[in-house]
Structure 1
Amino acid sequence: MTDSTTTPAHAQVFRPGLLDGQVALVTGGGTGIGLGISELLAELGAHVVIASRKPEHLEAALASITARGYKASVVQLDVRDPERVKQVITDVAETHGRIDLLVNNAAGNFYAPSATLSPNAWKAVVEIDLYGTFYCSQAVYPIMAKQGGGRIVSTSMTLHYRGWPLMAHATAAKAGVDALTKTLAVEWAPQRIRVNAIAPGPIPTEGVRKAFTPPADSGVPDLFAAAEERMAEYARKGIPLGRWGSPRDVANMVAFLASPAGDWITGGIFVVDGGEWLAKAQP
């Protein structure tokens, strides 16, 4: 199993200092994929502002990044609160003078039967995944427009491409993220704001283990509770590239889109899953 801290140093593919002078705000940036993104952006020279609802996640992430000599700061933020979102993003821009990159990574997902999914459960996931993505994007728009451009990268998923039992709330929200990405990309292109999304495949972080553990009587395979050997077997057979993903795999795509290589890319949904969703789509 891999994560952002075990990726070998030789896997670094970007030149040092690639993002020097840039300011990046990463929501949900204190754990899992978000932490992997925060770490790589900081390694490449950006000042990373990590946002999370949970202070304990912020403290650990900040210590991890600054201990290695990189630039980072943290802010507590619930992306479901539009007024708080506006205030935080305004404060970040005033403190650092700009925001070059917004990564909408905050998400809340869990298995639940659609027939008995409570209104609160539906609302919680859709508000975090979809509303939060819109609130943050809308709040950063005037800042990026005034400074002459910027990048927005949102986190989607692949499950809504084929349907996934017990995940109606998350698949609906992430399908909305895809549509929102394309709409904002076209609408905000005149302001030189590039808007893209990334759809990660199976990446067994601790957060994913907790969120995607299905009820015992659901009939849905609990891949993350399986033995390491069974997980390795699934990766060999179910993922065409033959391994699980890591946060660094996703972070690499974010860095690419944030770099000059992404200057002419907007409105894209980039699947980073080792080909897993295509294999699942086969009859």
Structure 2
Amino acid sequence: MVFRDDALTGKAILVTGGGGGLGREIAQALSALGAQVYICGRRQALLTEAAEAISAQTGGRVVPHACDIRDADAVDVMIAEIWRDTPLTGLVNNAAANFISPTKDLSARGFRAITSTVMDGSFHATLSCGKRWINQGIKGSVVSNLVTWVWTGSAFVVPSAMAKSALHAMTMSLAAEWGPYGIRLNATAPGPFPTPEAWEKLNPLPDTKSSATSCDTIPMRRFGEIPELTNLVAFLLSDACAFLTGQTIAIDGGQHLAAPSTFADLTILTDDQWRAAREAIEASTSRSKAAQNGDNPA
């Protein structure tokens, strides 16, 4: 650890998608540094388990809220409830959805499943917090988890690349618009940081290996380690960088500078391989839902 244990004491921070994956890791890291943490997602049982586990680990207060961030009204109700407890000082836009697919095979529903969570949901949460910060004269900080595709684009994940690019634009735009109120907006652009569920959906075929899940194209020749990302998020939410705003910071070992566009190497896959990939993704999703519901995934 590079921070004092009380580096975020006095902060109250909401992490969207905080029940699992990177969101849970971020929530735990922020709690360990003294922040009061709120986590949200769609599954109450998953959130409750995560909150209890993080609190047991850090000794901090972690409050779960079930909320579908695609619903602007539901987000505002949740934020209002949190505000009655204590005003937030920070927001981490982490909730996301993604899967690989040839764009020609995408349905409108599939497109919206990704963009409504990544783009719409993050904007709903940012606006709901921002209005309150401005009205109450509170200095707030927003950190959004993006990807290096905001600079390079990426084949086979076009909805995600589009939605994340929109948040990149939001980060720069609101940094200028809300700067006079003392509100900062920054973003991270992580490279490969292995988490089981996301890894399976982005590399579903055992006989193929995309650049997104390979360290061969990373100049540092390794994957990222979770504390390296959580340290960056904590720094951006802290008072140690109060003059830093409007920036998207890549943390990918230099991959986007040296490698071809992420997933570009999958253009060689056949239609049969893509069908197998879809089936593997669907099976992975079913296993994940069954495990979260306490069912036997077999």
**TM exceeding 0.5:** yes
> What's the secondary structure of 2:60's corresponding residue?
coil
Normalising by structure 1, report the TM-score. 0.86
Would you say the 8 A contact 1:202–1:245 is kept in 2?
yes
What displacement does 1:207 show?
A: 2.4
Task: Work out the percentage of aligned pairs sharing the same amino acid.
Answer: 34
Would you say the 8 A contact 1:33–1:248 is kept in 2?
no
Residue 203 in structure 1 maps to residue 193 in structure 2: yes
Map 1:50-61 onto structure 2 (within 5 A): 50-61=39-50
Residue 167 in structure 1 maps to residue 146 in structure 2: no
Map 1:21-32 onto structure 2 (within 5 A): 21-32=10-21
Which of the numbers 126, 150, 156 marks the counterpart of 2:115? 126
Structure 2 vs 1, CA of residues 223 and 81 (structure 1 numbering), >3 Å: closer, same or farther? same
Would you say the 8 A contact 1:25–1:103 is kept in 2?
yes
Which of the numbers 178, 181, 190 marks the counterpart of 2:171? 181
The residue that corresponds to 2:229 in the other structure is 250
Would you say the 8 A contact 2:137–2:181 is kept in 1?
no
Normalising by structure 2, report the TM-score. 0.82
Letter in 2 for 1:86: D
What displacement does 1:221 show?
A: 2.8
Task: Report the Cα distance in structure 2 between the residues aligned to 1:160 and 1:110, rounded to whole angstroms.
Answer: 17
Map 1:39-188 onto structure 2 (within 5 A): 39-68=28-57, 69-96=59-86, 98-145=87-134, 146-188=136-178
Task: Report the Cα distance in structure 2 between the residues aligned to 1:53 and 1:86, rounded to whole angstroms.
Answer: 15
Which of the numbers 209, 213, 216 marks the counterpart of 1:221? 209
Task: Report the Cα distance in structure 2 between the residues aligned to 1:40 and 1:162, rounded to whole angstroms.
Answer: 30
Residue 259 in structure 1 maps to residue 235 in structure 2: no
Aligned residues: 259
> What's the secondary structure of 1:154's corresponding residue?
strand
Would you say the 8 A contact 1:27–1:104 is kept in 2?
yes
- Could you say what the CA RMSD is over the residues aligned between the two structures, in angstroms? 1.9
Structure 2 vs 1, CA of residues 261 and 281 (structure 1 numbering), >3 Å: closer, same or farther? farther
> What's the secondary structure of 1:67's corresponding residue?
helix
The residue that corresponds to 2:2 in the other structure is 13
**Unpaired segments ≥5 residues, structure 2:** 262-298
Task: Report the Cα distance in structure 2 between the residues aligned to 1:200 and 1:57, rounded to whole angstroms.
Answer: 24
Letter in 1 for 2:209: P
